[in-house]
Amino acid sequence: MIPVRGYEGATIAVLGLGRSGLTAARALRAGGAEVIAWDDGAKGREAAEAEGFTLRELSKPGALDGVATLITSPGIPHLYPAPHPAIAAAWRAGVAVDNDVGLFFRSLGWDDSAPRVVAITGSNGKSTTSALLHHILVEAGKRAHLAGNIGRGVLDLDPPEEDEIIVLELSSYQTELARSLTPDVAVFTNLSPDHLDRHAGFGGYFAAKRRLFAEGGPDRAVIGVDENEGLFLANQLQEAAVDDRVIRVASGKLEGPGWTVTARKGWLAETRKGRQVASVDLRDIAGLPGKHNHQNACCAWAAARSLGLGPREIEAGLRSYPGLPHRSQRIAERAGVAYVNDSKATNVDAAVQALQAFERIRWICGGLQKEGGLEALHPHLSCVAKAYVIGREAAGFALGLGQGVEVEVCGDMATAVAAAARDAQPGETVLLAPAAASFDQYDSFERRGEDFAARVAALD
């Protein structure tokens, strides 16, 4: 655990006692703070009380008297669609509000042994990019740790040393609120509509991501520029056309003399000052199928180069990368049919990327539909032999797919897997890429992916 420094003797309140909240409470106490805590759920309160933390309902009048800072968990709304009552009370009382990511950055460097930190954000691909970069570093013999939205909580890490590298995956919930954001390298993969209720629209969502680059001023920024928001961000950070502090990443050709990493027709190419300095054929790397994973490879490549790794070291890491569970994960092959688990494709854009990775697909989709509808899927359904729709509102989801694809309303995973396996022909792929959240039927996208894998394993 990383003891949180700078709050010795101060009273700090912690709101939300899940993984990150309870770890923050422990780290604050280890650093000498007096901690009071609250969770709206009895389970969280019981866990904190068992560890000796004082409980106090933080939204009650006077509950924040004497409190220096309120630390809130990322899942708790702090502005939109409405602030949690305890956070609103903190604003009125003039109590600073922060989160565990802010505490993490605040606690680095107190003993002159700060590690290097790479922070990765974006709508899609940030988990794969983070895990891939961590894998590349470890394979190259570096002392590296993976934390944040993936792996361990940021404060659950052991106190880092100067020669270590910490790779953080950060969500918009985390970047929006952290009062300290000072990574050495910051990565922006891409942007597509997601979590719009928490950010009051697309502009607020982008603004939350942008804070990672605007607040701390990283030494180097890796920016995916396939969307206008990425182009805008890269342009804001660049002082000139040739500015090595910014590496632009794209799925097509880029103009200008700056530092770029691109993936075109399955080939990764690194260019500096108008000259190609490295290239890799990504098409035969099993752990990175499809254009979306080629973009992830480009982002990881650029970050690794920023940390001083050479092209051969990075390529070796790419080729040995096993892939992440629930993200284009090939889980089985039966009678010439591949079964791929991409349960993490929880929005339309992620599902489009998954669909583009395979040629003929038996597509399992559906769940809790997000804002924006399904129209953006329609131009990408030519590879779908048939869709098998799950979810409590499967019939409505099926209608949203339009007339361009054959659809079977299945309702649940067991029915969908059985139907897809019944219909699939050799050379086809049964793909779970829901284009929807899981919470209508599962606790998480992980549980949904595990159910898919279990149903595939149980096939005759």
**Bind-site residues:** 122-128
Please count the CA atoms within 13 angstroms of the CA of 29 that sit on its side-chain side: 15
Residue closest to 301 by CA, chosen among 212, 224, 209:
224
274: left (phi over 0), alpha (psi -120 to 50) or beta: left
SS3 assignment, position 332: strand
What are the Cα distances from residue 46, in Å, to 18, 59, 154? Answer: 11, 18, 23
Residues 6+ apart with CB under 8 A from 139: 313, 316, 317, 320
b/e map 118-151, b = 16+ CB within 10 Å: bbbbbbbbbbbbbbbbbbbbebbebebbbbbbbb
Which residues lie across from 38 on neighbouring strands?
A: 15
Helices (H) and strands (E) in the chain, counts: 15, 20
Structure tokens at 274: 């108008």
| CA atoms within a 13 Å half-sphere pointing along the CA-CB vector of 128 | 31
Q: Exposed/middle/buried for 415, CB within 10 Å: 0-12, 13-18, 19+?
A: middle
- Given a contact cutoff of 8 angstroms between Cβ atoms, the answer to whether 259 and 238 are in contact is no
Instruction: Give the closest residue to 187 by CA, choosing from 33, 297, 282, 29.
Output: 297
Count the residues in the chain. Answer: 460
CB contact set of 403 (below 8 Å; sequence gap of 6+) = none
Q: Return the DSSP state at 5.
A: P
Residues placed in the known binding site for ATP = 122-128
Report the alpha-carbon angle 419-425-429, nearest 5: 75
8 A C-beta contact, residue 364 and residue 388: yes
- Joined together, the tokens standing for residue 443 give 């606790």
